[in-house]
Chain A
Amino acid sequence: MLKYIFNRLLLSIVIVSVAQFLLFTMIYLIPGDPAAVALGPRATEAMRKTLEIKMGLDKPLIIQFWNFFTGAWTGDLGNEVLSDRPVFDVVLEQLPYTLALIACGMTWSIALGIPLGCYAAVRRGGMVDRLIGVLSVGLIAVPSFVVAIYAMLIFAVSLQWLPAIGAGEQGQLGDQLIHLILPSLAVGLGWIGYIGRMVRASMLEVLEASHIKTARAFGLPDRLITYRYALTIAILPTITLLGVGIGQMLSSAVFAEIVFARPGVGKLVYDAILTRNYPLVTGAVLVTTVLFVFINLLADIMIGVLDPRVRSRL
């Protein structure tokens, strides 16, 4: 078991390192003075000089990468160009908003996806099952930013049931939650489909299993069987999905933040691109990638812990 965790951890670290390497080399592929490229056209001469010394452009590439690499792991992602504040701090300030958005999106997916999948499995083959099937595929197919815009159009502009912009008053939880409803729906909608299908498929598998049949033979009520026994096992594969899901939701969150004018890492990167604040862009991309990789890692570990089938194989 520990070996499994260790292997996955190692792999994650290697992936992050490769990601850092890719981001690092991109700067050198672009023609021009690397410090100027890294900082973008908005940097002052002083900033460039500082970065050149820090990058050690006269030293061999390996040393430069090593500095960048170790710097990143200690949280030093450089300073952003407009106000000379550390990129790491700026990203960390905005990250909680995005995480809240993703968490709520996940909540929608789980809250709607599991019951749908369950229902479809229990009513297998019927009209409802097929309908839910089509719906699931449809939800997966449609790009989330289109959903975000249409949701805003229908619920905020036409019906005026929900607010269209912003994250709500700071410090007022209720207001913030109301502002979260539409954006998180946009973020989580696609995954309702994925989770629904996954739950349905694994439910079907489980329902065929022998211990379920035995329980039925014993006359235990259907509902008990479905929810207590079958569902608890069927849910496990969805945890793997969550890891991938969060990464995708991150992409959807970027659009949701821009469409609904919410603060967050997505909006941060977008604004940074528009203002050519390059260190902020690369820093934020790195932070979110690391986040994604480690959430995947956690998901894998949790599967290892929870799923007896996987555990027995370790």
Chain B
Amino acid sequence: MSAVVYEMKKSLLKIMREPLGALGISLVILMIFSAIFADLIASADPSKISPRDRFLPPSFDHLMGTDQLGRDLFARILHGGRIALAVALFTTAVSLIIGTVLGLLAGYGPRWLDNVLLLLFDTVKSFPTVMLALALVTLFGPSLTSVIIVVVLVNVPGYARIIRTQTLTLKSAEFVTAAQSMGASTMRILRVHMLPNTIGPLLILVSMDIPVVIAIEAGMSFLGLGVRPPTPSWGAILNDGFTAIRDTPWIAVAGGLPIILTTLGFTFLGETLRDIFDPRMKRR
């Protein structure tokens, strides 16, 4: 296990050395930090309605202004970060688990199972994402749960494939047979041989997927098909801002800005990770 930690420390340093990587990690940390400590950073209550204070432009009292119900936008954005973070973490975890199980099944299981699973993955990928999301929301009703189901569905194939590839490699590797003949358990093989090789690609996929996850949730909430009011998801704030865009544009700016910063942050991070872990794709 310490080998893994060592690898991660080394990678972290490599990330920080790349300017894009440094920027990416800073943005990510900023987002996580502000989401967790939202209450401390912004003293205002994100759900407090105050019609007298509606549509106030950004000022010292309200760093990003107020929305149509007089709610402080800065507080809403920070709390929105919690939703984004929660959705990102939860769906990634679930997708990883399901993906791992399916990937192992595909790799270790019988050939026909492998083919069927691959076909399913291809099919899911062949739906244009938003169309799939809309179709599922129609059936399950608009809610955050439906959005989460969509996101998990869309992400699982990616993780499953990585696990599957590793599993297939392992299945035929000689050193595995050697290790097994020496009495090594399957768990140990998985831990020692598979884990280090999969962490890299998985980490890259995670940091490339998270912006997609956040974008889908924000998109669905923007359409009014995701979180229910008055939950301050960034997409919902963007929706409020959109209807009032002519005279009070700062609401839309407030909603979109954290989305942009977060997606940029994770994407820069992912790109840098890819450069580090996959020398073939390195920028020359």
Contacts and interface: CB of A to CB of B under 8 A. Distances in A.
Nearest to A274: B224
B219 A296 contact: no
A149 B242 CA distance: 7
Interface string B237-257: 010011001100100110010
B128 A281 contact: no
A146 B256 contact: yes
Given A137-B20, A145-B222, A255-B219, A30 B130 contact: no
Given A146-B260, A149-B238, A149-B256, A296 B267 contact: no
A96 to B, nearest CB: 17
A231 interface: no
A248 B128 contact: yes
A124 B135 CA distance: 45
Given A143-B263, A273-B138, A153 B131 contact: no
A26 B139 contact: yes
A138 interface: yes
B135 A141 contact: no
A204 interface: yes
A18 B218 contact: no
A196 B253 CA distance: 28
Contacts of B138: 272-273, 278, 281-282
B16 interface: no
Interface string B191-215: 0000000000000000000010001
Nearest to A284: B131
Interface string A142-159: 110110011011000110
A36 B128 CA distance: 26
Contacts of A30: 139
Contacts of B129: 248, 251
A285 B132 contact: yes
A124 B284 CA distance: 8
A142 B263 contact: yes
B131 A18 contact: no
Interface stretch (A70-78, A103-111, A176-184, A287-295): A287-295
A18 B123 contact: yes
Contacts, number: 130
Given A251-B131, A289-B126, A137 B271 contact: yes
A254 B264 contact: no
Interface in A258-295: 258-259, 266, 269-270, 272-273, 278, 281-282, 284-285, 288-289, 292-293
Interface in A1-57: 11, 14-16, 18-19, 22-23, 26-27, 29-30, 37
B120 interface: yes
A140 B20 contact: no
Interface residues of A, number: 54
Contacts of B126: 15-16, 19, 247, 289, 292-293, 296
Contact of B267 (A140, A153, A270, A289): A140
Interface of B: 20, 119-120, 122-123, 126-132, 134-139, 142, 211, 215, 218-219, 222-223, 225, 238, 241-242, 245-246, 249, 252-253, 256, 259-260, 263-264, 266-268, 271, 283-284
Listed from nearest, the 7 A-B pairs whose CB atoms lie closest are A141-B267, A251-B130, A143-B215, A250-B128, A18-B123, A146-B256, A285-B135
28 contacts: A19-B126, A26-B136, A37-B139, A137-B20, A138-B264, A138-B267, A142-B260, A142-B264, A143-B218, A143-B263, A145-B218, A149-B241, A153-B245, A247-B126, A247-B128, A248-B129, A250-B128, A250-B130, A251-B130, A251-B131, A255-B219, A273-B134, A273-B138, A281-B135, A282-B138, A284-B131, A285-B134, A289-B128
